[in-house]
Structure formats: C-alpha cells, structure tokens
Amino acid sequence: MKTKPDLSFLKLWNISFGFFGVQIAYALQSANISRIFATLGADPHNLSYFWILPPLMGILVQPIVGVMSDKTWTRFGRRIPYLFVGALVAVLVMVLLPNAGSFGLTVGSAMLFGLLSLMLLDTSINMAMQPFKMLVGDLVNEKQKGLAYSIQSFLCNAGSLVGYLFPFIFTFIGVSNIAAEGVVPDSVIYSFYVGAAILILCVLYTSFKVKEMPPKEYAEFHGITESEEHTKMNVFQLLLHAPKVFWTVGLVQFFSWAAFMYMWTYTNGAIADTCWGTTDTASAGYQEAGNWVGVLFAVQAVGSVLWAMVIPLFKNRKLVYALSLVLGGVGFVSTLFFHNPYWLFVSYLLIGCAWAAMLALPFTILTNNISGKHMGAYLGLFNGTICLPQIVAALVGGGLLYIVGGHQVYMLALAGLFLVIAAGCTLLIKEHKNE
C-alpha cells in the first residue's frame, strides 16, 4: 500500500475551509432555534421536542451520504458533489426559517412551517458537513490527521464564534431586537441572511481548491484490492465488523452529545431566569438574554479555539479527552451559582474545552483505526453516536424539566453530570490500528 504524502498547511486548510461557512449556519441554528420557537409561542416544557428533528435528520442523512459517496466518482470528485448540494439547499432554507412568524400565519401554521424549515435546514447542513470529515480521511495521512482535524476544529469554532455573535452585533449597530408577538426580531433574521451568503462562498472556495483522488489512485493509497473494491456490505454487516473502538468512543459520545443537547435547548431560558429574572418570552429581557446566549456560545467557541491548541501538546489522547470533558462538566455545573451574566464567561470557557475535544479527538481515533475502503460509510454511521444521544435527550428532556420544577438551569447542571460520566467512559477506549 502506498503512503499518502504530507500535505502543505495551505492544502490542509483548503480541505476544511468550507467548514467555516457550514458551522456559521449550524451555530445560528444551535443558538436561535429555542429562541425562535419560544417566540412563536412554544411552551418551555415542549422545547426539547423541537430539537428531535436536527439529530433525527443527521442519523438518517449522514450514513446515506457516507455510503453513497464511497461509491460515487464524478469529474467533481466523490465527496464534493454532496457538499455543494447540501450547502445550496441550506442557503435557501436559511432565508425562510427565521421568517416563520412574518407570513401572517396562525400560531399552529407558523410552528409547522418552522418545523418543516428546520427539518430541511438540518438535513442540508448534515449533508454539507459530513464530506469534510471524509475528505480528511481520504486525503490526509495518519501522521497529519491530528493536525488536519485540529484545523477543522479551529475553523469550526471560528465559524461558531461568528454565527453566535451575529444577533448581538446587529442589535449593537441598531437593528431591532424586538418585534411584534410571535414574530422573530430583525436582528435574528438578518443574521441568517448574512450567514447564508458566507456559507455558499466558503463552500465554493473548497469545491474549487480541493482535488480528490481518482478511483485508481485512491485504491492504491488505501490498500484496496480490485476484489475488495467490488465487495458490497450493507449497514448491518458494517456494524457487525466495526472495530471495538467504534463502540467505545461511541459510548463517550453518547453522554457528551446528550449534555450539549441540553445546553442548546435550555441556556436561553436558564439565563433569562437566573440573570434577567424573567421567563416571559415576549419581554425585552428575554430577548436580551437571547442575544447573550450568542455571546456565551461565542465565548465557548473562543475557549474551544484556545484549548484546541493545547490538545496536541498531550501525547496521551485518552488523558486529554477525559480532562477536557471534566472541565466542561465543571463549567455546566457552575451555571447554578453565577447570576451575573459576565461571570458565565468562566462557565462557557470551560465548556469550550469539552467541545474542542469532542470535535477533534473522536474522529482522529476512529479514522486511525479503520481502513479506507469503507471510510465514508463508517464515518456516516459514526454520526449515529452524535445524533442518537441528542434524540434520546430531547425525548426525555421535557419530563426531566418537570422533575426539576421547571428550572431550566438544573438541566445545565445535569449536562455537567453527563460530561463527567463521559470522561469516565474514556477508560474503555483501546486503540488498535486498522481493524
């Protein structure tokens, strides 16, 4: 098997640059979905159910993209066509979603329109997001994968930083942050418009700059024989033959992503209550808290960028993985005690440490332990370890909120407990090359 050559930093950067735009779209969705549906009239106890759609679409779409792109060869490449189509659909939906309350629809109709838009948006974001992870697995050698995923993590967090801050910035320059009851403020709507424009420009850049390997060259670099190339395996067979590390890292992923599902769902309501003293979604205080969520998530992104530069200094990946998750857990639990919005910067900086590890380390560990012939399929299936915990967390979130008396900040503390459990599960990970 031929060894893939080292790539220059610029080439590694180009492979992942489009991820910057995709992550802006994802950040806008993450920081504003609860705010949008609460503004449209959703009950706080039902908010978690709206969050079922994004991971549900991910668990359906990403394995399909992985399996299909493994078998796709076009003049434009094998992964890039899926990347481009996903981004194009995402741009169209980003223009529609924040206007759900502006078309004169009834509350029920506006909710339904918002749900359909959210489903399409997350489908397209997932379709655009997965090819970036596959491109690293396809084009980058084992020695440089850690660097490549660190670059991807940096661009991911930089995109998050921009997306999270957009509503705050637009409000700062004078765009209205309040609107009629049931209508999403212009500060959020304009954020989605600008995010859509950046998304398509970034994806176009990667599409033109990255040249994928033709089939024969890909087979040579990944040690795929002609007989293996024509061997077909269905999803169940792939899971049956998955390396053990697929499942052990997946267990860590389960608790990690359940924690972040509760962060995205309940941060707005939690800080509106603890820092602004309101649960009234029509109040100026609630909308101001909504903007502050973007600032806090931006602080989290800064923490992630800084910690992503520290992670490669650790030779023991499992150690830094566990440490990062524990720091994130401390950050979540600390939200119980901070009632000044500025003190929450400490909480979300620590949460950013966990996020940085979650973005880079699982994929580095996994791609170093699987062969190239099913790279896309396994990465698509591995996305189930991201989506399934979010679905489970969303399904039980409303019931758990009732148990804690409707105090959304307790859901953030529960997220902290989940991250500590995830850190303990890292002890089960044992790496074995190319099983």
DSSP 62-94: HHHHHHHHHT--BTTBSSHHHHHHHHHHHHHHH
φ, ψ at 176 (rounded to 5°): -60, 135
Is the distance from CB of 354 to CB of 362 less than 8 angstroms?
A: no
Residues in the chain with pLDDT values less than 50: 434-435
Residue 33 carries which side chain, given as an amino acid letter? Answer: I
> 9-215+235-428 sits in which CATH class?
mainly alpha
79 bridge partner residues: none
Residue 302, helix vs strand vs coil: helix
Confidence at residue 3, expressed as pLDDT on a 0 to 100 scale: 79
Residue 351, helix vs strand vs coil: helix
Domain boundaries, the chain: 9-215+235-428
Residue 282, helix vs strand vs coil: coil
Is the distance from CB of 394 to CB of 48 less than 8 angstroms?
A: yes
Confidence at residue 434, expressed as pLDDT on a 0 to 100 scale: 47
Task: Find the angle CA(13)-CA(17)-CA(20) to the nearest 5 degrees.
Answer: 135
Confidence at residue 435, expressed as pLDDT on a 0 to 100 scale: 40
Confidence at residue 368, expressed as pLDDT on a 0 to 100 scale: 74
- Cα–Cα nearest to 301, from 163, 188, 128: 163
pLDDT tens-place string over residues 369-392: 766 566 667 777 777 888 889 889
